[in-house]
Amino acid sequence: MSGSVVLLHLAGAIALLLWATRMVRTGVERAYGDVLRHKLRATMRNPFMAVLTGCALSIALQSSTAVTLLVGSFAGAGIVSGMSGQLAVRGAEIGSALVVKLLSFDLSLLVPICLATGTMMFMATERRSWRQFGRILVGIGLLILSLEMIGEASEPLRESRLLPVIVDYFSTDPVTAYLLAAFITWLFHSSIAAVLLLVTLAGRGFIPPELGVVLVLGVNLGSSVIAPLLTRHAEPGVRVVPIGNLLMRGAGSLILMIAFTWAKPPVAYLGSTVPDQIINAHILFNCLILIAGIPLAGLIYRASEKIVVLGTPPDPAESLAAAELSALNESALDTPSQALANATREVVRVCETVEIMLKRIIELYEKADAEKIAALAALDDRVDRKHQAIKLYLAKISARQLTEAEALHHQELIGACVKLEQVGDIIVRNMLAHVQKKLDRGLEFTEEGWRELSRFHASVLTNARMAFNLLVSRDPETARQLVEEKDRLRALEKEASQSHFLRLREGTAKSVETSSIHLDTIRDLKQINSLLASIAYPVLEEQGLLRGSRLQAS
């Protein structure tokens, strides 16, 4: 078999490994994401529980990077402290190392079981939770299968004359080997996939133990770089935890690599075989980083904050607060097509502000203070100002001679602008009042009640983004999907209300205390969804896909 064919088979096996890992993570996030997030928020105040929760989440999501991003977003929203977030990430790294250990056993019998069972579950039902669990099983089966494929694909390399030369070179140049492992891990965006690849190749005798330890340290460097790069454009608060992980894990791997190549300690104590030595070195490294990270958590957190502040450019809004950019150019009014394009740009900006409001309001339900409440109310003031400016600009456009298409677009923008202003009012006048009531009375939702609200809000937020995109794309399929989602939300509201009244009949104390807030919030979110879904009607009507107030059959 030629070298190019061997590399092609190896590349395909590695691609399947990465896809399977992503499939498992996606299935877990879709089926149990809300539960996992709720558990994370509830346990992060205890340092010991933060470590355990991070470890469990990493095992479930098959990715320490996913946990780092999740914890970073919570820290940025003020839901968890930065120090607790650092400890949760430490636990997540150990969790990902344990996943590698688990997958190193002979699990070949699970491949047909997982593939057959998962496929049957996915195809035999429309229930979302069962389908996602089927997806998880299929992903696990493909993950194990990919490891077998990597082993088989690399078997012809035993006869290669070039491979021993390459291995000998990297054995004498640990720095290059260390950086190459870091680059491959960043390329894979998965330390689990990178270490599993090393373990499989080591099992075929391609990697000596000393080089394996150096490569594992490089993998940990590469893994610590992924989250900071993915969050480089995020808010400063979100970036603190990923930067702290880079400081601790990345710097730790560099220090230990230098110490290992200088002292050259024996690696036999790590295991009887090279694959065991690589896996155990990976676990040992992350345990050492956890032990060192507990007393250094405060120092690392403060250093991360300073680095984030230094790397954050000054906000133009602060230095040029009086200069608010507007697309409503008066000189374009004599050209209606250009003026309508300007108005569309400004409406899209209002969409962005409303999306921020809708995203932040659910965070305030869980943890609110006077400063955050005032900040959200200020966003509504911005929406009102832009709403008035857009209405005045559109009124001036209507005084010009418009074609039929321009007149329809003009009416569509007016309708969208009014609906966006109404959504902002619902968030501030209704939902923010619920937040204040919950804060003043010290109320807490039940775990099931909060999960229902979070799921309902997530659906409304997803639909809002579709509606905002529709203003620009005017895609009929998106419009149809948006209206269909309105019916699904109606069924979801009915289901949530029935569950809530069932908890009331059972006498759950928290359900009684938060009953009005829970039901009113569901009602407000449904009203917001209805307003945004109506943005799709002009597009559907233009395409002849709307009959009365209902969709025509496809």
- In tens, the pLDDT along 94-109 reads 888 888 888 778 778 8
pLDDT digits (tens, 9 = 90+) for 189-229: 778 888 888 888 888 788 889 999 999 999 999 989 988 88
Render the burial of 243-255: b for 16+ CB within 10 Å, e for the rest: bbbbbbbbebbbe
CA angle 361, 454, 485 (to 5 degrees): 100
Cβ burial, residue 381 (10 Å; 0-12/13-18/19+): exposed
Task: Give the integer Cα–Cα distance in Å for 190 and 425.
Answer: 43
3-state secondary structure of 517: helix
Instruction: Return the half-sphere exposure (C-beta side, CA atoms, 13 A cut-off) of residue 47.
Output: 11
Helix (H) or strand (E) holding 414: helix 404-425
Provide mean pLDDT across the span 512-516: 70
Residue-range domains of the chain with CATH = 3-311 (no CATH), 330-551 (1.20.58.220)
**H or E element that contains 550:** strand 550-551
Q: Which two tokens stand for residue 62?
A: 């098959």
**Do residues 432 and 377 make contact, with C-beta atoms less than 8 angstroms apart?**
yes
CB 93 within 8 Å of CB 59: no
Looking at residue 116, what is its pLDDT? 92
Residue 309: is its pLDDT beyond 80?
Answer: no
What CA–CA distances, in Å, run from 63 to 190, 194, 223, 273? 7, 12, 10, 26
Torsional class of 36: left (φ above 0), alpha (ψ -120 to 50), beta (otherwise): alpha
pLDDT digits (tens, 9 = 90+) for 322-340: 345 677 888 788 888 888 8
| pLDDT per position as a tens digit, 429-450 | 899 888 888 887 777 777 777 7
Q: What is the pLDDT of residues 33-47, one digit of tens each?
A: 666 666 666 666 666
| Greatest CA separation for the chain | 85
Q: In the prediction, which pLDDT does 316 show?
A: 44
Q: Percentage of the chain surpassing pLDDT 90?
A: 10
Q: Residue 234 carries which DSSP code?
A: S
First to last CA, the chain: 52
Q: How do residues 464-498 score in pLDDT, each as one tens digit?
A: 888 888 888 888 888 888 888 887 888 777 777 77
* pLDDT(550) > 60: no
Mean pLDDT calculated for residue range 285-313: 82
The partner residues of 546 in beta bridges, in order of sequence, read 551
pLDDT confidence of residue 216: 93
Q: Above 80 in pLDDT, residue 312? A: no
The whole-number average pLDDT for the span 245-250 is 90
| pLDDT band of 547, cuts 50, 70, 90 | low
Mean pLDDT of 54-58: 79
